[in-house]
Structure 1
């Protein structure tokens, strides 16, 4: 019984820590035509949140990760007036509460009717960050693609761990850019 309860709790905990990216796009757009990009004028993490982890260092990490990811797809960074598309990004941080309840014992009394269960509930606050990347057609100035991913923010990370985390998140978000044809 305890083994099943432990395995179920571990699976729920692992599934709660993972988040899949979310995408949306204009199906009428020919994404193969996009070969160059520039930063949208309002591309800035710091304007969208006041979380201490959102700073100039994180801004640089996000820009580097997006640039590297798009360059592996043959899309190069150019001046805004020469770009096929503009890339915008922003972040939000939301505080969430997690509660776990564990039944610690069962009891039955013979001289009274009934039975009892003792439970223990633990709550924790944590921050969830969401990174959103937008692709805007530079000619029409219309949003043509959006990707987002949320995840629990970690504290006390080294700069290398923060680099790896941002690179992984951006790669997962841009995994579906350009969108894959649905058959």
Structure 2
């Protein structure tokens, strides 16, 4: 009976760990948007890159480099074109696009409670806590839309996600394309009634 109880407890603990990992992997962040409600976004037809648009100004991580910058620009260009915006000279553009990346370290802690029913010298119930901690890096990609005439920020979108190392160039490109598409999904902002 003791062996059966131990097997049951091991399988219950394994189930709890697997369930927690599945929940953790399913947790994704949604983009965050903010914009000036007084702006008539329908008037914007052309864009250019802001002079400050560069990842090289503040490299904080080995993944933030010229290759990543090229991927971001290509993804933004593709998304803007799909919405009918034309890339033009900065002096003639309706809006300027700026982007930047912040990389932060975060700590993730998991605590599992494990119950068991037998000890070597006595029977009884107890609860044991097992805590693990992991440090990981999170990148936040921010895209700013600036009205060229007023030089004022009119729209901002951002998305945070865990940085993954050891990706192929294709995986990195796919990740950037998906992130930019999610950020720009609400540009121009959808009018809510």
Q: TM-score by structure 2 length?
A: 0.86
Aligned-pair CA distance for 1:119: 2.3
Quick one: distance in 2 between partners of 1:126 and 1:65? Answer: 26
State the shift of 1:10 in Å. Answer: 4.3
1:156 corresponds to which of 166, 173, 178: 166
The gaps in structure 1 that reach 5 residues or longer are none
Q: CA RMSD in A?
A: 2.3
- Which of 36, 44, 47 aligns to 2:54? It is 44
Aligned with 2:72: secondary structure? Answer: helix
SS of match in other structure, 1:9 = helix
The CA distance in 2 between the partners of 1:73 and 1:173, in whole Å, is: 14
Question: Once the two structures are superposed, what CA deviation does each residue of 1:138-171 show, in whole Å capped at 9, x if it has no partner?
Answer: 0100000000000000110000000000000000
**Distance (Å, rounded) in 2 between the aligned partners of 1:123 and 1:68:** 39
d(CA) in 2 for partners of 1:115 and 1:4?
20
- 1:116 Cα deviation after fit: 2.5
After superposition, what is the alpha-carbon deviation per residue over 1:61-114, rounded to whole angstroms, capped at 9, x for unaligned?
0000001100000101111001000000000000111111222333477x99x8
Q: How many positions carry a matched residue from both structures?
A: 182
Larger mean CA deviation between 76-85 and 47-56 belongs to 47-56
Q: Given the two structures, how large is their TM-score scaled by the length of structure 1?
A: 0.90
Secondary structure of 1:80's match?
Answer: coil
2:46–2:86 Cα contact (<8 Å) kept: yes
**1:144 & 1:11 partners in 2: Cα distance?**
38
How do 1:103-122 residues align onto structure 2 when only pairs under 5 Å count?
103-107=113-117, 115-122=125-132
Q: CA deviation at 1:121?
A: 1.6
